[in-house]
Amino acid sequence: MKKFLGIVVLGLLWCNPSFAEQIIIECLGTHIYEGDKKEWNNWKRTIQVDFQERGTRDYGLEGFTGDFSNIIITDDYFYKYSLKVFLAPEFTVQVQKISRLNGDMAVTTTYINEEIYKEIKIKLDEVNSKIKNYEKQLSYKKKYEVYGTSKLGSNQQEIEKYNIIKPYAEGKKGKKGITKETTIYKFECKKATKAF
């Protein structure tokens, strides 16, 4: 019985992601979908996932510097969301999802107007009002609040915000305020065999 319990404990330690503090995943683009158009996506990305800090550093695309970005970690997925100013009065709403089961990654972006930005903002602010230490993040001209995945709330609150943003990013909600067609970048990812 002691031997069995020892094996179970070692197995749990081995499988627990908190003990594997960082992994590197390599992603190769497959397709880009923009409206009804489908094109090949040959972009390569290297993403460092930090379980302890609940974030990623994204390398490999031109202009990507490996800046730290918060993520939502669940048993099956890594999630990320954002609502940002593009060129006022135009905004981007974006979600990213990486499957931990098969390595598929999708980055979905839609450009929206200020009216839809405000509609989403009200919903996000309602969730953020329940986060004790939440701090507003303002755009570079300090005119608009920007939103992104945060470590300040619980995983449940972050998933709630992701689910608010997702239908807008997919172009299913706020259709009257879409200024450019929804774009989806698809990638296939796998755990890197060596660090960069």
What would the pLDDT profile of 17-59 be if each residue is shown by its tens digit? 444 588 989 999 999 999 888 998 888 888 999 999 999 998 8
Confirm whether pTM is higher than 0.85. no
Identify the CA nearest to 73 among candidates 147, 148, 159, 13. 159
What would the pLDDT profile of 136-185 be if each residue is shown by its tens digit? 998 877 889 999 999 888 999 999 999 999 999 999 999 999 999 899 99
What does the block give as tokens for 147?
């939103």
What does the block give as tokens for 100?
């931990």
Q: How far apart are CA 14 and CA 194, in angstroms?
A: 20
If you ran DSSP here, which 8-state letter would residue 111 be given?
Answer: E
